[in-house]
A and B are shown apart, each in its own frame.
Chain A
Amino acid sequence: MNMKVAQRGENVMKQDQPGQPVTRNDDANHELSVRVRDLDLWYGDFHALKSINMDLYQKNVTALIGPSGCGKSTFLRCLNRMNDLIPSVSIKGLIEMDGRDVNESKMDEVALRRRVGMVFQKPNPFPKSIYDNIVYAPKMHDLVSRKADQDELVERALRDAGLWEEVKDKLHQPGTSLSGGQQQRLCIARAIAVQPDVILMDEPTSALDPISTATIEDLMDKLKQQFTIITVTHNMQQAARVADYTAFFHLGEVVEYNDTKTMFSTPHTKKAEDYITGRYG
């Protein structure tokens, strides 16, 4: 047990053991998936992430919350190096996964993204058929070649994403013909089809209606048995519902990283409390 009593009203947590959540969630798994140490990120001159320390655990849902522009999406995109696409970005610090620094020169970002999948804010299925959307990446990574294996993989991915029953009769229709919520589940199926270790979700439900949102939340709860899920959300209730651990970001810093229940009942920092209770956001 790692109960740490912090002083209420403190703005930023002083972490004795950097990166670890303040309160332990006993229901959660605590095998390490990603270790982040002293991560700094700049967009040109703008210091967007300031010495982030976080231990992200396997087969958990970790939610990143915080006001707009706080760096939570930027942090998420560090984990599969999507920030490489922005030319002005510079990164310092350690992001360790499976014993390797993801930013080291030997690390191929394509290999990293093979193990760290991503689901985006707006559903973005490829303009191909539902079947091809799913089978494209596994084929590219040489995971399947035989037609029968492909069929099986497509079915498994769609079942895991809870979409199979709805689309099994129209696998060869374009993925873009589905509704928004179905498209997002298709994107999730596409991400899990390559059996990644980690799935990053960047506000996956912000473009969806409440019913689709609930479906996706149930799905996240189910998928965490197999995958490490790290999700960014603006929706406080969503974080409270789905996440095992929650990290509150503010102005590029992790203000509080805590067990979700504790975070939403008795947050250890004043800032997190103000944000959660809706005093700013």
Chain B
Amino acid sequence: MRQSFDDISAQLRARHRKSARLKWISMGALGLAALFLVLFFADMLVKGLPAFQQAKIQVEVDYSEQASQIPLAAVNEDVRPLVSRGYLRLIPGRMRDNPDLLGTTRMEWVLADGQVDQYLKGHHARLSDKEKAVVDRLKEEGRAELPFNTTFFTSGDSKMPELAGIASAAMGTVLTLLVTLAVAFPIGVMTAVYLEEFAPDNRFTQLIEININNLAAIPSILFGLLGLAIFINFFGVPRSSPVIGGLTLALMTLPVIIIATRTALRSVPDSIRHAAFGVGCSRWQMVRDHVLPLALPGIMTGSIIGLAQAMGETAPLIIVGMVAFIPDVTTSFTDAATVLPAQIFTWAGEPDRAFIEKTSGGILVLLAVLITLNATAVVLRKKFERRW
């Protein structure tokens, strides 16, 4: 039957409507996803940005003989509850190190108590009306400020919110990831090279391949249990340490690196392999001199993404005891340590309201690092993409 354009258009109208509808639905889904993301970021920023400021007040510090014994005596009674006890505790030590201080009285900017900080930021604070009045007076006189919080980046965890920082967790993360990288990268890359370039295609290698792919989908907490059973109980690796955390995360990262490396190797055209064989390369020379250099950007991208994944992982580390209270920044691979997500987890469980902003602040730092890592991966991929 012959159809005129009008007949066809009439039929098409319904089809066009349908595709328009689907387009709107998918755009709605995208919008919703974007909305969630924006809400999440906004919430984190609103809650977390105050963590990068910490209240300081200017008070008179009296370095008397008595203060070297009882630090509380160093400041006036009315501001005493407003000064961080962490600061006061350091006074005797400072006087010992610097004898000139003895007998002097100085106006100093000192770290305020966490409650003062919360009050100045307009949050609920456990302060009496009298104390609040003192803070208000200090603020009017310009003796209370909210400067940038360096403590947050330079010190470890503390039970006093004004002293709590992420430095120990950040260092723990660095050490743990170093172990992960050192273990997972060479093993993962060589495994992939063997499977892709050397292994015959038989039942056995297919079985290995399926298992590696499945490994990537195993719940991470099982890796923690494996780490606990094998590394700690059997090999006696010290618990809570970056070594055990790194090894456990390496187990998790291995399949990611193997899969990424295999994909990268497979994307190298066979013509390069033929060219290498054609000039008399052995198989290993072919891989080392020609295929690996071409696959390297892909391998690095995959490894960075695998590491970023490992970096955000908490569950397996809880099992191997890396959720610990670590006040000091350690640089040892075998001492107890914690990692950024575990630190966030710890802070989230603190009853003190002042830790809410620490939690969000920690998340912001973790997000910043992860975004940086992923951006590096993207840049690497773009920079070295297809040079042949």
Bound Cα distance A118, B387 (Å): 23
Instruction: Report whether A176 and B275 are in contact in the complex, using a CB–CB cutoff of 8 Å.
Output: no
Instruction: State how many angstroms separate the Cβ of B9 from the closest Cβ of chain A.
Output: 46
A120 proximal to B (CB < 8 A): yes
Tell yes or no: A65 within 8 A of B by CB.
Answer: no
Q: Give B340-373 as 1s and 0s: 1 = Cβ < 8 Å from A's Cβ atoms.
A: 0000000000000000000000000000000000
The reply to whether B278 and A114 form a contact with Cβ atoms under 8 Å apart is no
The reply to whether A137 and B290 form a contact with Cβ atoms under 8 Å apart is no
Known interface pairs A87-B201, A126-B290, A174-B387. Does A194 touch B278 (Cβ–Cβ under 8 Å)?
no
CB B291 to nearest CB in A, in angstroms, measures: 11
> Which of these, A85, A117, A136, A176, contacts B388 with CB under 8 Å?
A176
Cα A114 to Cα B271 with chains together (Å): 18
Q: Chain B 277-299 against A: per-residue CB contact (8 Å), 1 yes, 0 no? A: 11111100100011001100000
Q: Per-position contact with A for B6-27: 1 when CB-CB < 8 Å, else 0?
A: 0000000000000000000000
Over the window 164-180 of chain A, the binary record of Cβ atoms lying under 8 Å from chain B Cβ atoms (1 yes, 0 no) is 00000000001010000
Instruction: Across the interface, name the chain B residue whose C-beta is closest to A120.
Output: B274
Chain B residues with CB under 8 A of A194: 279-280
**With an 8 A cutoff between CB atoms, is B222 at the interface?**
no
Q: Are B271 and A124 in contact (CB under 8 A)?
A: yes
Q: Residues of A contacting B275 with CB < 8 Å? A: 120, 124-126, 187, 190
| Alpha-carbon separation in the docked complex, A116 to B259 (Å) | 36
At the interface, yes or no: A281 with Cβ under 8 Å from chain B? no
**Is A118 within 8 A of B278, CB to CB?**
yes
Which chain B residues border A127 with CB–CB below 8 Å? 272, 293-294, 387-388
In whole angstroms, how far apart are the Cα atoms of A137 and B280 in the complex?
7
Would you give the 0/1 interface string for B196-215, flagging 1 where the beta carbon is closer than 8 Å to chain A?
A: 00001100000000000000
Interfacial residues of chain A within 117-160, with CB under 8 A of chain B in the complex: 117-120, 122, 124-127, 136-137, 140-141
Which single residue of chain A is at the shortest CB-CB distance from B293?
A127
Q: How far is the CB of B170 from chain A (nearest CB, A)?
A: 39
In the complex, are the beta carbons of A113 and B387 less than 8 A apart?
no
- Residue of A with least CB distance to B276: A126
> Quick one: closest A residue to B283, CB to CB?
A110
**CB atoms of A114 and B280 under 8 A apart:** yes
Residue A82 interfacial (CB < 8 Å): yes
Flag whether A52 is at the interface (Cβ < 8 A): no
**Contact of B281 with A140 in the complex, beta carbons under 8 Å:** yes
B272, A82: Cβ atoms closer than 8 Å: no
The majority secondary structure among interface residues of chain B is helix
Residue of B nearest to A122 (CB): B271
Number of chain A interface residues as a range: 20 to 34
Taking a contact as CB atoms under 8 Å apart, the answer to whether A110 and B281 are in contact is yes
- Asked if A80 is an interface residue, CB under 8 A from chain B, the answer is yes
- A82-B279 in contact (CB<8A): no
Tell yes or no: A191 within 8 A of B by CB.
yes
Report chain B residues within 8 Å CB of A111: 280
Complex contacts, B285 vs chain A, CB 8 Å: 140
8 Å CB contacts to A: which residues of B288-328? 289-290, 293-294
Q: How far is the CB of B366 from chain A (nearest CB, A)?
A: 38
Residues of A within 8 Å of B274, CB to CB, are 82, 85, 118, 120, 124
Q: Known contacts A110-B282, A176-B387; is A120 also within 8 Å of B277 by CB?
A: no
Closest Cβ of chain B to A158, distance in Å, is 16
User: In the complex, what's the smallest C-beta–C-beta distance from A189 to chain B, in angstroms?
Assistant: 11
Give the shortest distance, in Å, between B266 (CB) and chain A (any CB): 16
- Alpha-carbon gap, A140 to B290, bound state (A): 13
Question: What are the residues of chain B within 8 A of A125 when measuring CB–CB?
Answer: 275
In the assembled complex, the Cα of A176 lies from the Cα of B290 at a distance in Å of 14
A residues near B280, Cβ cutoff 8 Å: 110-111, 113-114, 137, 140-141, 194
Of the candidates A87, A126, A191, the one whose C-beta lies within 8 Å of that of B272 is: A126
Nearest-CB residue, chain A, relative to B201 = A87
> Chain A residues with Cβ under 8 A from B388's Cβ?
127, 176
Q: How far is the CA of A194 from the CA of B294 in the complex (A)?
A: 24
| Contact string against B for A residues 15-33, beta-carbon threshold 8 Å, 1 for contact and 0 otherwise | 0000000000000000000
B199 to chain A, nearest CB (A): 11
Inter-chain contact B290/A82, CB cutoff 8 Å: no
Asked whether B278 lies within 8 Å of A87 as measured between CB atoms, the reply is: no
List A contacts of B293 (CB < 8 A): 127
Task: A122 to B269: give the CA distance in the assembly, Å.
Answer: 12
CB within 8 Å for A191 and B271 given contacts A87-B200, A127-B388: no
B277 touches A85 (CB 8 A): yes
B72 to chain A, nearest CB (A): 71
Closest chain-A Cβ to B276's Cβ sits at a distance in Å of: 8
**By the criterion CB–CB under 8 Å, are B387 and A191 in contact?**
no
- B282's nearest neighbour on chain A, judged by CB, is A110
Closest to B386 in A: A127
Q: Which B residue's beta carbon lies closest to that of A175?
A: B388
Q: Which residue of A is nearest B274, CB measured? A: A120
Complex-state Cα separation, A106 to B355, whole angstroms:
73
**Shortest Cβ distance from residue A161 to the other chain B in the assembled complex, whole angstroms:** 14
Q: How far is the CA of A163 from the CA of B278 in the complex (A)?
A: 20
Inter-subunit contact B279/A137 (CB<8 Å): yes
The docked-state distance in angstroms from the alpha carbon of A120 to that of B273 is: 12
Cα(A80)–Cα(B7), bound, Å: 65
Q: Which residues of A contact B271 (CB under 8 A)?
A: 120, 122, 124
Q: What are some 13 contacts across the A-B interface (CB < 8 A)? A: A87-B200, A113-B278, A120-B278, A122-B271, A124-B274, A127-B294, A127-B388, A136-B289, A137-B279, A141-B280, A174-B387, A187-B275, A191-B279
Not counting A85-B277, A110-B281, A114-B280, a sample of 9 additional A-B residue pairs whose C-beta atoms are within 8 angstroms of each other reads A82-B277, A85-B274, A87-B200, A118-B274, A124-B271, A124-B272, A127-B293, A136-B279, A174-B387
**B-to-A contact residues, CB < 8 Å:** 200-201, 269, 271-282, 285, 289-290, 293-294, 387-388
Q: Which 10 A-B pairs have the closest CB atoms?
A: A137-B279, A124-B271, A118-B278, A114-B280, A113-B280, A127-B388, A124-B275, A127-B387, A110-B282, A110-B280
